Amino acid sequence: MKKGMQQFSRSAIIPIKFMAVMGLFLAFAVLMQLEFMPTFVQSTGAMIKSMMDAMMNNLSIIFCVAIASSMAKKNKLEAGVLAVIVFLMFLAANNAWLSSQHMLAKEGAVGLYGTGQNLVLGFQVVDMNVFLGMLLGILTAFIHNKFGEKKFIDVFSIYGGPRLAFIVMIPVTLALAISLCYVWPVINKGINSTSNFILGAGAIGVFLYGFGNRFLIPTGLHHLLWMPFCFTAIGGTATIAGKVYTGAVNIFYAEMANVGSITSLDPSIRFAFFGFSKIFACIPIALAIIHMANKNRQDEIKGMVLPGAFVGTVAGITEPLDFAYLFAAPQLWFLHSVLAGLSEALLWQFGIRTFVKDGVIDTTVSNAVFSPSLTKVHWFIIFGLVMSAVWYFSFVFLIKKLDLKTPGREDIPDLAVAGVGAADVNTMQPTVAMSSNNGSKFDTLVEGLGGRENIETLNNCFTRLRIDVLDQEKINQEKIKLFPGQKGVIIDKNNVQVVMGMGVQTIREEMAEELGME
């Protein structure tokens, strides 16, 4: 189950990466439409806004295609096409059943809001929002993987492979479209109850949410916590300019697009505070690690942690820094998670409403379109600087008190015996990794994974290579750690995660090409 959840989370990340770009351009579009801008600039801004709205209003089908094609083991293009077909078939079948059973809701003063139904690509269907795309994407991938490679004799060969998966999906989609007319309203009530409970928990709920988002990062399951709050009704529902939006991020982007009519930011923004620790904790943590390193190794440690701290602060990608100390000093990771949750709870209690999902770039652009009286961004900065000091001194105290072996404080007797100094470790890694039979830069990593024949799947998320192997006994963690650029290795039975940083997608593509994998 955990493997399946990790596979789903890394698949769902794909459209979210594109949404980060959408948010930036939406903010630019709003700024371009300010009154003092030339008419041509305002018109261009309006067109860009319409383009971004088109994506935001159709996230369901985007998630459906992304999840299906990513989770497909082979023939990913066919899986993506099948996902589009399945999505359209569901809409048609669901609408037809609602119509035939006289279950279509009538529009009220605010359209279909509150009726449990919505218009999706022109079809009036049960209102599942992004959940529909996720469900159909997972189901399509499952059927595609199970039937997509079945072959028939020549005369029937056209009906084999991905077409057989399509044939199977027709009755499955029909049954799902009918059953969800009755099942989803019940599920929706449960979602609303859960959402109301979390929203009603106030600062305690925000603390637990913030703590969990940070603490779960080593498992790769943190996406499963924040994604529902950011993109589904669990994070809240709001009507803006006559349209209904669900999820903290979707609601904020809708407010951004209609900034002229917004007098206060929706309470769901409390679930979009988790970038606070990215901006205000990375540099203090790096400085604390450097300060507590042995004097003769501080320059080396600066080169190790400062680049990761910079990337975390500016872009919101913290794994390169996280994995520098996470396994060596898990007590610090627990403290970091507590401080992250506490910070977000205090932001909420102090009435600060700054949208801070990622790093400095995203935060600056996203909040620039709103008046500081709405976001309280000035108090956000002051509070952030105070918490930066708390992070720094807390880390320094705990490292000293517990004598934690953070980078620069490790005992390295094996290296000393071998006659290799600590400063030589990084410089020797590329040489070791490149010494292989065919000269491929991935040889050391492949050998550490038990050889090409032991690698079942090869994927990546924001910062990690994620590899499933057939035989976990063949994994050699020490050899994997010799791969140049890796910043940490997590092994969970047959799943291996290698932390690489923001360039991981290029690494995965090059490695897949060399290994002959999709």
Burial of 427 (0-12, 13-18, 19+ CB in 10 A): exposed
Residue 245 has phi, psi (to 5 degrees) of -125, 145
CA distance 356 to 223: 16
503-507: Cβ within 8 A, 24+ apart: 504/460, 504/461, 504/462, 504/463, 504/464, 504/465, 505/460, 507/460, 507/465
Q: What gap in Å lies between CA 503 and CA 485, rounded to an integer?
A: 10
Integer Cα distance of 464 and 448 in angstroms: 16
Cα 505 to Cα 267: distance, rounded to the nearest angstrom: 35
SS (H, E, C) 459-512: EECCCEEEEEECCHHHCCHHHHCCCCCCCEEEEECCEEEEECCCCHHHHHHHHH
Report CA 328 to chain centroid distance, whole Å: 25
Count how many residues are written for the chain.
518
What's the distance, CA 133 to chain centroid?
Answer: 16
| Distance in angstroms between the alpha carbons of the first and the last residue of the chain | 24
CA distance 499 to 290: 21
For the chain, the C-alpha Rg in angstroms (whole number) is 25
64 is catalytic: no
Which residues on adjacent β-strands are paired with residue 239? Answer: 244
Alpha-carbon span 84 to 136, nearest angstrom: 10
Residues 6 or more apart whose CB falls under 8 angstroms from that of 438 comprise none
Q: How far apart are CA 309 and CA 199, in angstroms?
A: 32
Find residue 460's DSSP bridge partners.
Answer: 465
Per DSSP, the residues of 165-197 read: HHHHHHHHHHHHHHHHHHHHHHHHHHHHHHHHH
Burial of 317 (C-beta count, 10 Å sphere; 0-12/13-18/19+): buried
27 CB-side CA count, 13 A: 17
CA distances 272 to 19, 195, 236, Å, are: 14, 15, 12
Catalytic residue numbers read 461
